[in-house]
Structure 1
């Protein structure tokens, strides 16, 4: 019997769980609460001044009065950077994670009345937001059959925003089910990836389960022309034309991947 097994056999389960929680907290060094911006009256001003950004999505976020929306400030200009081309169109947008409903309100204002907006959540209480700013369906983000049924109901998908469990075992499942269903030119955004460094979400610094390791493999897959090895994540890499990484956010672009060529002109 190993030392770890002996300790488990001696200590009560509750004490073991408490010790594990304390150990994880010490290793992670930071929590979401450590970064809270306290003055709600200055949220918009903070975003505008720090990121030199004045888009109207600031107001959709900072002035929200229906439900609750929780976003990190630096996300706001990033959203607009990647989503602005879809505004005012019949975009089909899926948000994983409904929570208190405020986010769907923000997206309805941002994309406009023609957008097809759906949110999914595992919490049945989120049904109260169905039909308010979009359609809400109850189910798990790691349930492939459920995800496919939602996309079928939507008539396809152009943008996925994963703001769900943030857990390492769930993020890849949703991605591999949904990415192939995106339209060409579509986007798959995953946010709150600071969770990849936290053991409580199945990650950890330099942990093999950290989702950024998945992205490193995906990067290698995208460059398979030059190393000749088999793809690790073919369900994504065969139609992934670009990857953009920001603090806690990754954006994957969907499209047709062509064999690269080059030319020498002149001389």
Structure 2
């Protein structure tokens, strides 16, 4: 069963929505905004050479859809590394309506505070979501192949265990829509990096596709790494959607030839609805 469900302009993480009242999580889709080609239409990224005013309009549309004001939003300057930043209320608004104020050199965000809306941007890379209802922690991580090779998901789990005292078995993780093994061909170098981080599990996440070529399943690679980090397999939910196959719903860097918009993943601990 698909863990994300279309709702207006959004893909909501329904599995968590139905079980927990104190967290909202999901992802924007491609349609419903004001951007013109090649960023049409609900581009959420300031860094892709779209008109900044248009991106602000798109973000205002999503803000209204979610009923969450933009001054609660926090975003980061994603650089395909594994740095993780703990977000507090003082960071609220950074990166919400411009790129310059985004938290620098960061691909993972988490918070222990309510009503702080975390965001991250995608066009094929893997969106990772984290939630711990006992410790009231919520986080996002951006896992392209480089972030996957650096085990950014495992780094988030370790940070929560070491710095927040979270029991790993209580952490829930979700893997959102991203490019699938049907469409993601990589070379020997990328595969060697996957083998370094995955060890003998690498063959579960890739299949040979000719001389020096492989079809890589980044979602499965991240799932295996999350399991290795100690998260229970039953606590990990994975989207079936491939962003390249469903280019009608999602921006895809590969399908769109490298010039395209960005979807936005999001997560927030709600201040008005404690878990039952």
- Please confirm whether the aligned pair reaches a TM-score higher than 0.5, indicating the same fold: no
Larger Rg: 1
Which structure's relative contact order is higher, taking Cα pairs within 8 Å and 6+ residues apart?
2
